[in-house]
Amino acid sequence: MVRQNRLSECWFTLGKEGKRILEADICDEVRLERMLPKQRQHLLGINDVRISAELTSNLSYFFACWELPGLGWDRVVIPDAVFSLGGKKVVLEYDRGFENTQFFVTTKMAAYRQGLSGLPLSEILVTSDSPAWLNALRRAVGDERVVYTTIEKIRQEGLPRSLSGMGSSSKVRHA
């Protein structure tokens, strides 16, 4: 699976007339869902990081966790996203604090420290809704390749400078 365009993973509110137009002009069938995904906040956060990365001038690729299996991802650990920004290979972990820090360290971080075959990592971006949870993760992980920031800071200021090399020019703007 390859992303067709920058908006292919976005959610839209669509009525019957919009559905008819899309089916007539773009695709054969549009399925209208009545419920949003259960992990909606998590998926929105990943998309906000994607938008922030897209707004920089040096994004080579961005694959969210739901796209990785279609690319043949066969590793045990599935990051929330994998992207290349300015030549840096980055994995994203958006942790909302539903498991304890020890689980995060022994599963996700252990795999990243060993390295992902065929994907030399430059940095690991860890984000969370809660600054307190982010600080708990920082204390538990203790890895210099990890960049920590809240999802709200990414939405307001863009990707951390160490990732984008562009300061705050990658803000996510919400209407």
Q: Tell me if 68 is assigned to some domain.
A: yes
**What 3-state class would DSSP assign to 22?**
helix
Calculate Rg over the CA atoms of the chain: 17
What CATH number is associated with residue 48?
3.40.1350.10
pTM of the model: 0.73
3-state helix, strand, coil in the chain (%, to 5): 35, 20, 45
Q: Tell me if 26 is assigned to some domain.
A: no
Q: How far apart are CA 99 and CA 104, in angstroms?
A: 7
Q: Tell me if 25 is assigned to some domain.
A: no
Show the domain range for 159: 37-164
pLDDT in tens, the chain (175 residues): 344 554 455 556 677 888 888 788 777 777 776 666 667 788 889 999 999 999 988 899 999 998 998 888 888 889 999 999 988 899 999 998 888 899 999 989 988 888 888 888 888 999 999 999 999 999 999 877 789 999 999 999 988 876 644 333 334 333 3
Q: Tell me if 14 is assigned to some domain.
A: no
How many distinct structural domains can be found in the chain?
Answer: 1
